[in-house]
A = this chain, B = another copy of it.
């Protein structure tokens, strides 16, 4: 990545720009921010330290939310016996097409000295694509009585789906995720849980990722394999496509019947439990990148930033070197005592032996929220020279040291709010009520997207048609919004409410 300050004024740090080639811009942001890279294992990525630190922050915040709502973490086997996948008809259909199958338990030297698989397993094992069936087996033993319910479990784990076309964070063969699995005595409680956890996801997306999301239900054809109902949060990326950022499933009694999860109720009757599952993954990082980043690289919402403030000491002159570094260390120490959104500020001094401009662009591309340049002149004036990543790179401000320390947490929250508001305004500007088929087809012409808020007759045929014609799907039937009836934008048939249509990741 060349240093844009050395080139003409309007050059950006990322090439191509979003405008020029959005998918390639995305790859270049991931690379320039040093978040992740492809690996020699087809479809698997390496998550590099800066990317993984964002995931750690996501985990830390979400994990607390799960615990605050009564869930406990546990860990279940990576492998699932092949026969388990057969238990639930929809489930096997949904996952059999893309799973990693372990068939041997050893390697030995073949005739040419090269290794070959040996010791075939009696029953092949599947690397978990999701854990409903294997967790169901445990639940069937853990649950005996209504007193054992609700059972509220979460797992942080890796899962594998042998996807053909992959893209860093957005769709990878192996990904990291959390999967909640709960069992309840009644349908009502299970439904409440599904919706509660969707609410937790929405809260996290909005208040930590600064990513506005729609909450709603998937249509039957977009449901999780084996679920009675699937709820989701959907966000709009800067190319106006939708990203499904989290799903929560009401599984009814489908999995409790296939896994035999029964309990003796207070009324003395033996009943099948009602179960739910819900998940989010490293895909969230893809959403974070595509919601906020610009043509100079990544922008990280301050609440999830691995480092809040980077200090670049200006070390042009040897005689002021010690003074500048001492001042920076002292400032770092003061900043490290300041609380922002539930944790102490993370601060890094970049004293590498590189040109100041190179260091500045290094951190801009990585999306550090605040960058301070501090040299002898700033020290003399007792001030800091601040670049905020939510503003133009050229817009810098000098702030008195004491003033900065007193307001840094407030300024970070302002940035957080700015990012959310900007994303919200973008989504609103690109969401359109559409009432005719002609307008609908025009809206999604070529590579165009956006959210079309339109009526739908409830049929899978319409979904198939627009998918084939336009690559458009119904993203969700929203909980909010007007519920007045109308006519299907495609067929003119009666519709109960508008739904959101878009192209998607």
Known: A52-B75, A114-B86. A99 touches B92 (CB 8 A): no
List of B residues within 8 angstroms of A82 by Cβ? 107, 115, 117
- Is A102 an interface residue when CB atoms closer than 8 A count as contact? yes
Q: How far is the CB of A292 from chain B (nearest CB, A)?
A: 22
Tell me if A105 counts as interface (CB < 8 A to partner B).
yes
Verify B98–A72 contact, CB threshold 8 A.
no
> Size band of the A side of the interface?
35 or more
Cα–Cα distance between A89 and B59 once the two chains are bound (Å): 38
- B85 near A73 (CB under 8 angstroms)? no
Are the C-beta atoms of A75 and B47 separated by less than 8 Å? yes
Measured between alpha carbons, how far is A76 from B106 in the docked complex, in Å?
22
Q: How far is the CA of A53 from the CA of B76 in the complex (A)?
A: 14
Task: Tell me, yes or no, whether A48 is within 8 Å of chain B by CB.
Answer: yes
Do B72 and A53 have beta carbons less than 8 Å apart? yes
Determine whether the beta carbon of A96 is less than 8 Å from that of B115.
Answer: yes
Stretch at the interface among A36-44, A215-223, A236-244, A477-485: A36-44
Minimum Cβ distance to chain B for residue A213 (Å):
25
Report the bound CA distance from A393 to B96 in whole Å.
53
Cβ A103 vs Cβ B77 within 8 A: no
Which single member of B83, B101, B106 contacts A117 (CB below 8 Å)?
A: B101
- CB distance A78 to B44 under 8 Å? yes
Query: With contacts A40-B137, A49-B153 known, is A176 near B125, CB below 8 A?
Result: no
| Cβ–Cβ contact A52 & B78, under 8 A | no
Cα–Cα, bound, A92→B115 (Å):
9
Chain B residues closer than 8 Å to A404, beta-carbon distance: none
- Which of chain A's residues 126-150 have a Cβ closer than 8 Å to chain B? 126-127, 134, 137-138
Could you tell me the distance between the alpha carbons of A44 and B81 in the complex, rounded to whole angstroms?
11
Which residue of chain B is the closest to A56 with respect to CB atoms? B73
* A179 at interface by CB-CB < 8 Å: no
Does B101 lie within 8 Å of A107, measured CB to CB? yes
CB neighbours of A468 from chain B (8 A): none
A162 on interface, CB distance cutoff 8 Å = yes
- Given the complex of chains A and B, what is the CA–CA distance between A100 and B52 in angstroms? 26
Which listed residue, B74, B85, B104, touches A47 by the CB 8 Å rule?
B74
Closest partner residue, chain B, to A107 (CB atom): B96
- B102–A101 CB distance below 8 A: yes
Q: Which of B75, B98, B157 contacts A46 (CB 8 A)?
A: B75
Bound CA span A157–B92, Å = 27
A458 at the interface (CB under 8 A from B): no
Which chain B residue shows the least CB distance to A71?
B49
A79 contacts B174, C-beta separation under 8 Å: yes
CB of A97 closer than 8 Å to a CB of B: yes
The chain B residue with its CB closest to the CB of A352 is B147
Task: Identify A39's interface contact among B55, B72, B137, CB under 8 A.
Answer: B137
Q: Which B residues are in CB contact (< 8 Å) with A126?
A: 107
Is A108 interfacial (CB 8 A cutoff)?
yes
Q: Is the CB of B105 within 8 A of A102?
A: no
A499 near B: Cβ within 8 Å? no
Interface hits, A482-502 → B, CB 8 Å: none
Chain B residue contacts of A92, Cβ below 8 A = 107, 115
Select A49's contact among B47, B74, B157, B158, beta carbons within 8 Å: B74
| B residues in contact with A81, CB < 8 Å | 40-41
Q: Per-residue CB proximity of A236-279 to B under 8 Å, as 1/0?
A: 00000000000000000000000000000000000000000000
Docked pose: A422 CA to B47 CA in angstroms: 43
In the complex, are the beta carbons of A174 and B77 less than 8 A apart?
yes
Chain A contacts with B in 394-446, Cβ cutoff 8 A = none
Using CB atoms and an 8 Å cutoff, list the residues of chain A in contact with chain B.
37, 39-41, 44-49, 52-53, 55-56, 72-86, 92, 96-108, 114-115, 117, 124-127, 134, 137-138, 153, 157-158, 160, 162, 174, 176
Having A97-B106, A101-B105, one finds 17 other A-B pairs with CB under 8 Å, namely A39-B137, A44-B78, A46-B138, A52-B75, A53-B73, A78-B174, A79-B174, A85-B107, A85-B115, A96-B106, A99-B105, A100-B102, A101-B117, A103-B103, A103-B104, A104-B124, A105-B162
Residue pairs across A and B with Cβ atoms less than 8 A apart, 28 shown, are: A37-B138, A39-B134, A40-B137, A41-B77, A41-B80, A44-B79, A46-B74, A48-B74, A49-B74, A52-B72, A55-B75, A75-B176, A77-B174, A78-B160, A79-B100, A82-B117, A85-B107, A86-B114, A92-B107, A92-B115, A100-B125, A101-B103, A101-B117, A102-B102, A102-B103, A102-B127, A103-B104, A127-B127
User: Closest 6 interchain pairs by CB?
Assistant: A44-B77, A49-B72, A101-B104, A96-B107, A47-B75, A105-B162
